[in-house]
């Protein structure tokens, strides 16, 4: 009993110390990256951010340290059978460093989003793994025979049991006290004000849709399939021979956007976005094709983005501006989020091209040496909704934050939208991305959602069927499993409501059809194409 309590308490002390040190190190790595962008990181701001991370991210790191150091401690005890006692401290310190290094490596390899941002680079990975030295040495000290002899035998069990309980309770209380709340849900739109029709079922990871003049709806599936779905629910596959190879990985990347050229009835052009490359070096590609019946022809690659080392955060949405140019959203590459502030590449940008794939002469970075001339705006994380307001001509995008910080942004040429220097969100393991919510020189969001709703698309309603909705924004949300109606008075946001929350489906895309009805794609491997009309209208 005494032996067990002592070793458990020593192990918990080691993992708590390790978690705290890892938190301190990561915060300094993240703040150091912000300083490189001339962010005003003062001493007091650094201290407060460090303490905040220690309270909220530190407990998460303690849980990770438990999983990493438990096998390390067992390996250390096994190794002690074959080495002199003088090696005891070195053995446990080395085993703890190795356990952390392997744990961080596994998390980087398996989890799509960077689980521990400080470990994204080799140096950060090494520095954070080296914090295992503290845990290994502390465990060695607390379990050494000399330490035990210093304690009163009668008090050993009580002392170590109390220590073990405190080492579990304190981080748990700290985490729950600092964790962000669930947030308030807006009221729902009266379900009696619309009718939901299921047009098609059984879609496999659909991503985007577009309306053909003959009344059919084109739908992309991420695995590389393009379907033409009629109003009666019949479906025809469009043959995609000649399309360049598509890099597809689950529901993260693959065949994504489909959009019709503004002069489609004259030229038959479709635009498709898709993943290209491979797992460790992939990007987003824009391709133009001509639709000829049930097949494509005249395939032309217009643009290929900067390669990135992870499959996540690809953007991939297209819109056409009033001058005939097109804009394409591109994600930050996930593991290389700071590149969203680097105008020398396409990561974390909206690019603007003519319909031959060339950057227009008036692009904001066109005349700046060392920059990517296609860039229209930068500082985006992962914009998966894009639309042009038909009344004002504004270009609007929705983009995913991390844990919170989802945004609607109004794009101005050359604008910097802040990621990752400015955001209202925090990292997935609850650490600060940045202490700055707003900062001079960066564009403020029109609307922010924290907690995250995961906005996956965007439409400005301008149809005739729901006249009271004209000018409002419609945002399909994956995490929230609903559609947000963002009510506007001109450009001013005056409220929000939820649509289709009762279906409890992840919503992937939303488009307003020419007749004013609203088409919605749900997400996943058995997804649906839905159509919304007023109650009196079923056709």
If asked whether residues 110 and 240 sit together in one domain, one would say: no
If asked whether residues 42 and 150 sit together in one domain, one would say: yes
As a whole number of angstroms, the distance between CA 150 and CA 359 comes to 75
Specify the pairing of strand 473-477 against strand 459-460.
Answer: antiparallel
Model confidence over 72-94: pLDDT tens digits?
Answer: 999 999 998 888 888 999 999 99
Say if residue 526's pLDDT is above 80: yes
If asked whether residues 442 and 486 sit together in one domain, one would say: no
If asked whether residues 228 and 328 sit together in one domain, one would say: no
Q: What percent of the chain has pLDDT over 70?
A: 94
pLDDT of residue 335: 80
User: Domain range for residue 384?
Assistant: 308-447
Query: Could you say which of 247, 272, 304 is where a domain stops?
Result: 304
**Residue 149 — pLDDT band, cuts 50, 70, 90?**
low
If asked whether residues 7 and 86 sit together in one domain, one would say: yes
Stretch among 170-184, 341-355, 416-430 having the lowest mean pLDDT? 170-184
CATH number at residue 483: 2.40.10
**Residue 148 — pLDDT band, cuts 50, 70, 90?**
low
Is 320 within 8 Å of 386 (Cβ atoms)? no
- The total of other beta-carbon atoms located within 10 Å of residue 414's CB is 15
pLDDT of residue 120: 86
Q: What percent of the chain has pLDDT over 90?
A: 81
Q: How far is CA 43 from CA 48, 203, 223, 419, in A?
A: 9, 53, 50, 22
Say if residue 154's pLDDT is above 50: no
Strands in 326-329's sheet, in edge-to-edge order, are 318-320, 326-329, 349-353, 375-378
pLDDT of residue 9: 84
As a whole number of angstroms, the distance between CA 131 and CA 113 comes to 23
Chain CA centroid to CA 18, Å: 28
For 42-60, what is the mean pLDDT?
95
Residue 419 belongs to some domain of the structure: yes
Q: How far is CA 496 from CA 186, 213, 385, 485, in A?
A: 6, 32, 17, 6
Specify the pairing of strand 459-460 against strand 447-449.
Answer: unpaired
As a whole number of angstroms, the distance between CA 374 and CA 377 comes to 9
Residue 211 belongs to some domain of the structure: no
Stretch among 66-75, 166-175, 402-411 having the lowest mean pLDDT? 166-175
pLDDT of residue 159: 62
- Give 187's Cβ-side CA count (13 Å radius): 5
Say if residue 153's pLDDT is above 50: no
Residue 277 belongs to some domain of the structure: yes
pLDDT of residue 163: 58
pLDDT of residue 145: 73
pLDDT of residue 1: 39
Residue 209 belongs to some domain of the structure: no
Chain CA centroid to CA 516, Å: 31
Query: Which among 203, 198, 234, 204 is positioned nearest to 216, based on CA atoms?
Result: 234
Stretch among 134-143, 368-377, 457-466, 498-507 having the lowest mean pLDDT? 134-143
Say if residue 152's pLDDT is above 90: no
If asked whether residues 347 and 289 sit together in one domain, one would say: no
pLDDT of residue 466: 97
Is 85 within 8 Å of 65 (Cβ atoms)? no
**187 phi and psi angles, rounded to 5 deg:** -65, 155
The domain tally of the chain equals 4
Residue 496: strand pairing partners? 486
Query: Which among 131, 45, 138, 144 is positioned nearest to 85, based on CA atoms?
Result: 144
If asked whether residues 406 and 300 sit together in one domain, one would say: no
pLDDT of residue 301: 98
Query: Could you say which of 400, 418, 447 is where a domain stops?
Result: 447
As a whole number of angstroms, the distance between CA 395 and CA 409 comes to 8
Residue 184 belongs to some domain of the structure: no
Q: What angle do CA 15, 16, 21 make, to 5 degrees?
A: 95
As a whole number of angstroms, the distance between CA 207 and CA 218 comes to 11
If asked whether residues 199 and 169 sit together in one domain, one would say: no
If asked whether residues 99 and 21 sit together in one domain, one would say: yes
Residue 257 belongs to some domain of the structure: yes
Strands in 235-238's sheet, in edge-to-edge order, are 206-211, 217-221, 225-229, 235-238
* Token representation of residue 467: 């006249």
Model confidence over 165-198: pLDDT tens digits?
Answer: 666 687 778 777 777 877 778 999 998 999 999 9
Query: Could you say which of 304, 323, 341 is where a domain stops?
Result: 304
For the four alpha carbons of 160, 13, 435 and 39, in that order, the dihedral sign comes to positive
Say if residue 343's pLDDT is above 50: yes
Model confidence over 427-462: pLDDT tens digits?
Answer: 988 999 999 999 999 999 999 999 999 999 999 999
Residue 183 belongs to some domain of the structure: no
Stretch among 25-29, 160-164, 225-229, 404-408 having the lowest mean pLDDT? 160-164
In b/e form, how buried is each residue of 98-123, taking b as 16+ CB within 10 angstroms? bbbbebbeebbeeebbbbbbbbbeee
- Give 100's Cβ-side CA count (13 Å radius): 31
Average pLDDT, the chain: 92
Residue 210 belongs to some domain of the structure: no
If asked whether residues 74 and 158 sit together in one domain, one would say: yes
Stretch among 93-97, 116-120, 235-239 having the lowest mean pLDDT? 116-120
Say if residue 2's pLDDT is above 50: no
CATH number at residue 378: 2.120.10.30
If asked whether residues 296 and 326 sit together in one domain, one would say: no
Q: Which residues contact 56 (CB under 8 A, 6 or more apart)?
A: 174, 175, 178, 179, 426, 430, 431
Q: How far is CA 419 from CA 136, 318, 381, 397, in A?
A: 37, 21, 6, 14
Stretch among 140-149, 211-220, 233-242, 506-515 having the lowest mean pLDDT? 140-149
For 234-251, what is the mean pLDDT?
96
As a whole number of angstroms, the distance between CA 473 and CA 518 comes to 12
> What pTM value is reported for the model?
0.93
If asked whether residues 57 and 123 sit together in one domain, one would say: yes
């Amino acid at each position: 009993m005494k032996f067990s309590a002592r070793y458990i308490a020593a192990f918990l002390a080691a993992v708590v110390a390790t978690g705290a040190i890892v938190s301190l190190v990561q915060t300094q790595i993240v703040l150091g990256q912000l300083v490189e962008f001339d962010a005003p990181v003062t001493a007091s701001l650094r201290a407060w951010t460090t303490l905040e991370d220690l309270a909220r991210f530190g407990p998460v790191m303690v849980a990770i340290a438990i999983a990493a150091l438990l096998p390390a401690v067992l390996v250390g005890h096994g190794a002690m059978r074959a080495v002199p006692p003088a090696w005891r401290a070195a053995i446990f310190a080395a085993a703890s460093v190795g356990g952390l290094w392997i744990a961080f490596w596994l998390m980087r390899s398996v989890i799509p989003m960077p689980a521990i941002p400080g470990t994204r680079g080799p140096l950060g990975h090494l520095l954070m793994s080296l914090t295992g030295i503290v845990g290994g040495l502390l465990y060695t000290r607390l379990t050494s025979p000399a330490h035990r002899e210093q304690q009163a035998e009668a008090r050993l069990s009580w002392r170590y049991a109390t220590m073990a309980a405190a080492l579990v309770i304190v981080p748990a209380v700290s985490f729950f006290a600092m964790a962000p709340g669930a947030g308030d849900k807006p009221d729902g739109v009266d379900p009696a004000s619309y009718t939901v029709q299921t047009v098609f079922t059984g879609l496999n990871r659909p991503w985007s849709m577009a309306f053909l003049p003959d009344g059919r709806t084109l739908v992309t599936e991420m695995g590389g399939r393009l379907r033409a779905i009629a109003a009666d629910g019949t479906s025809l596959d469009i043959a995609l021979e000649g399309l360049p190879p598509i890099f597809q990985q689950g529901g993260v990347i693959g065949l994504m956007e489909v959009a019709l050229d503004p002069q489609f009835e004259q030229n038959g052009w479709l635009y498709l976005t898709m993943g290209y490359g491979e797992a460790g070096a992939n990007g987003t590609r824009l391709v133009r094709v001509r639709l000829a019946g049930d097949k494509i022809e005249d395939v032309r690659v217009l643009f290929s983005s900067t390669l990135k080392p992870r499959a996540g955060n690809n953007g991939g949405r297209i819109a056409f501006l009033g001058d005939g140019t097109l804009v394409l959203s591109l994600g930050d590459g996930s593991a290389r989020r700071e590149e969203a502030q680097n105008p020398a590449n396409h990561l974390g940008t909206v690019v603007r091209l003519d319909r031959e794939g060339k950057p227009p002469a008036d692009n904001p970075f066109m005349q700046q040496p060392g920059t990517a001339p296609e860039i229209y705006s930068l500082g985006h994380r992962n914009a998966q909704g894009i639309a042009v307001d038909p009344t004002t001509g504004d270009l609007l995008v929705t983009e995913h934050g991390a844990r919170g910080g989802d945004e609607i942004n109004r794009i101005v040429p050359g604008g910097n939208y802040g990621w990752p220097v400015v955001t209202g969100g925090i990292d997935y393991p609850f650490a600060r991305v940045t202490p700055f919510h707003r900062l001079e020189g960066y564009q403020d969001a029109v609307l922010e959602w924290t907690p995250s709703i995961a906005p996956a698309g965007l439409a400005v309603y301008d149809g005739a069927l729901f006249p009271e909705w004209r000018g409002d924004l419609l945002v399909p949300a994956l995490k929230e499993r609903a559609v947000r109606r963002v009510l506007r008075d001109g450009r001013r946001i005056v409220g929000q409501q939820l649509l289709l929350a009762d279906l409890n489906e992840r919503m992937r895309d939303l488009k307003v059809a020419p007749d004013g009805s609203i088409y919605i794609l749900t997400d996943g491997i058995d997804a649906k194409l839905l159509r919304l009309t007023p109650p009196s209208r079923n056709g």
